[in-house]
Chain A
Amino acid sequence: DVKVTQSSRYLVKRTGEKVFLECVQDMDHENMFWYRQDPGLGLRLIYFSYDVKMKEKGDIPEGYSVSREKKERFSLILESASTNQTSMYLCASSRLLAADFNTDTQYFGPGTRLTVL
């Protein structure tokens, strides 16, 4: 059973603080993703990673960075938190299928609700 865990369920930070959101998966998946979910906007991809030390920008990377030092762990960093980064943050992982990309299901963690005051 795939398990994706996120370090915090709820987080409250102040404007300008550096924020770390941690995600760990236990299924040896190559791919890991960070999304944010906002009402009326659905899930938007912030960053993703295909391998250790590898990262690619998603649709809304501005104001965020990521780190993947180990295969099972993918961190999202807000260098200087702002109020417009108040959101639900979701981490996901999936296998990298060389021959058949089309069956690549993403498994999600429970989410971290971040409030920036």
Chain B
Amino acid sequence: DQQVKQNSPSLSVQEGRISILNCDYTNSMFDYFLWYKKYPAEGPTFLISISSIKDKNEDGRFTVFLNKSAKHLSLHIVPSQPGDSAVYFCAANTGTASKLTFGTGTRLQVTL
């Protein structure tokens, strides 16, 4: 039972354009959401997060949007850079435990 889903396994975007990565969840108890980035042969690194009391959080080129009614979140990267090429995982927790539930990941390729 995949409670956090990333339906696009891969995405290719031209440098300078916007990258939009999507994530859907089914557990209505989730109230905190995170995005991690993972390069090959490295562990995931934290990118940005959002609490369920917000609908948007921005950090430089990265913005996360949360639509609670649709149980959907998205990560926008503007402008996209070649160094953004990586696998992106969304994750969620219920706020009552440190345990995170991860999605399956989306491989982003930013082309020149």
DSSP majority for the B interface?
A: loop
Interface size on B, residues (CB 8 A): 29
With A and B bound together, what is the CA distance between A102 and B98 in angstroms?
A: 8
Any chain B CB within 8 A of the CB of A108? yes
In the complex formed, the residue of A with least CB distance to B53 is A102
CA distance A7 to B93 in the complex (A): 28
Determine whether the beta carbon of A42 is less than 8 Å from that of B105.
Answer: yes
B43 touches A48 (CB 8 A): no
Set A43, A48, A110: member contacting B98, Cβ < 8 A: A48
Asked if A50 lies at the interface with its beta carbon under 8 angstroms from chain B, I say yes
Q: Size range of the interface on A?
A: 20 to 34
Q: With a CB–CB cut-off of 8 A, which chain B residues contact A75? A: none
| Complex interface bits, B43-69 against A, C-beta within 8 A gives 1, otherwise 0 | 111100101000000000000000000
List residues of chain B with CB under 8 Å of any chain A CB. 4, 6, 9, 31-32, 34, 36, 41-46, 49, 51, 89, 91, 93, 95-105
Task: List residues of A whose CB falls within 8 A of some B CB.
Answer: 4, 9, 31, 33, 35, 40-45, 48, 50, 58, 90, 92, 94, 96-97, 101-111
